Amino acid sequence: MISIGIVGGTGYAGVELLRLLVSHPQVSLKYVTSRSEAGMPVAEMFPNLRGFTDICFTEPDVKTLGVCDVVFFATPNGTAMKMVPELLAQGTRVIDLAADFRLKDSAEWESWYGMEHACKELLAEAVYGLPELNREAIRSAKVVANPGCYPTAIGLGFLPLIENALVDNQHLIVDGKSGVSGAGRGANVATLLCEASENFKPYAVDGHRHLPEIREVLNGVAGHAVGVTFVPHLVPMIRGIETSLYAVLKDPGVDLHALYLERYKDEPFVDVLPKGVFPETRTVRGANFCRIAVFQPQGGDTVVVSSVIDNLVKGAAGQAIQNMNIMFGLEETAGLDRPALLP
């Protein structure tokens, strides 16, 4: 059994990790930390876990966590980087669900996140945890930077086009829509029911924090800097992301559907839909799937890719567990092979 620690178990990503891990057949949950809730039974805060775990929140302690095989960080940006070096020194592997290790350039990270990076020396060693792109590197990784939700949906949507140099990659356009849980569990007027319900709005048009991550992923695939315009929107639902991706084809005669089917034929959590079927966020709710459809309106030179994920599962906790499975040589689908929730 793989022994697990979770730092930051009170947020939406944390409780999603717990929901998935308590029924994982090959893990043992040892510690779930929270400075503010230490001593409280986890199932008291999250009643959906009653009968599945009797563990209590504890204070985060690096030496205690160091007995675990792997520690997940479901914490705000800037937390993991202060603890990871000591955990690695104790032989513990780390999966960070925040952004501390996603960018290789520390100066760019500091400009976007407004703080000094505490362990710049580990940025080169950390592996970006998008299995469909970096599976082999993830197997031996000591630190995995779990991708952000938007970069996951966008990266998977664009990969086949950019890998095959089929589009003008200097003018990529992303129209993204996310549910309110993507903003986190903290109190915020903008995400109150009366503010978010029956409303639809763009935000961070001048620059979303996921933009440098999106660029880094796509730049790496293209082998040079790409041009991306990314406009996210907040929609009045709890879970889910849909990204509509636009690019201009160099060769409109390519069979795009066949291309996507071939690229993802062996990927357990990427589902390329039949021609003419539109992805829906409800079909991935609570599941670790990314469902993708590709379109070529009127047979012209514009390609439109629609990609949907659950931002808390494939966009966070589920992908983190997928990475853990790869790191420890388990079946990649272990603990994750479940359908979405309908209705």
Token pair of 155 as six digits: 């990266």
Q: Strand, coil or helix: what is 314?
A: helix
Helices (H), the chain: 12-21, 42-45, 62-65, 80-89, 106-113, 131-139, 149-163, 193-196, 211-222, 256-263, 318-327
Query: Using CB atoms within 10 A of its CB, is residue 8 exposed (0-12), middle (13-18) or buried (19+)?
Result: buried
Pairing assessment for the beta strands 270-272 and 302-309 based on DSSP bridges: unpaired
Structural contact between residues 8 and 79, judged by C-beta atoms closer than 8 angstroms: yes
Q: Which of 56, 68, 119, 149 is catalytic?
A: 149
Please confirm, yes or no, whether 56 is among the known catalytic residues: no
Query: CA-to-CA distance for 277 and 259, rounded, in angstroms?
Result: 16
In order of 112, 263, 282, 289, 321, the CA distances from 340 in angstroms are: 34, 23, 8, 8, 17
Query: CA-to-CA distance for 19 and 135, rounded, in angstroms?
Result: 24
Residue 168 burial (CB count, 10 A): 14
Query: CA-to-CA distance for 123 and 84, rounded, in angstroms?
Result: 11
**What angle (nearest 5°) sits at the alpha carbon of residue 136, between those of residues 213 and 324?**
75
Amino acid at 229: T
- The DSSP call for residue 277 is P
Helices (H), 145-200: 149-163, 193-196
Positions marked active-site = 149
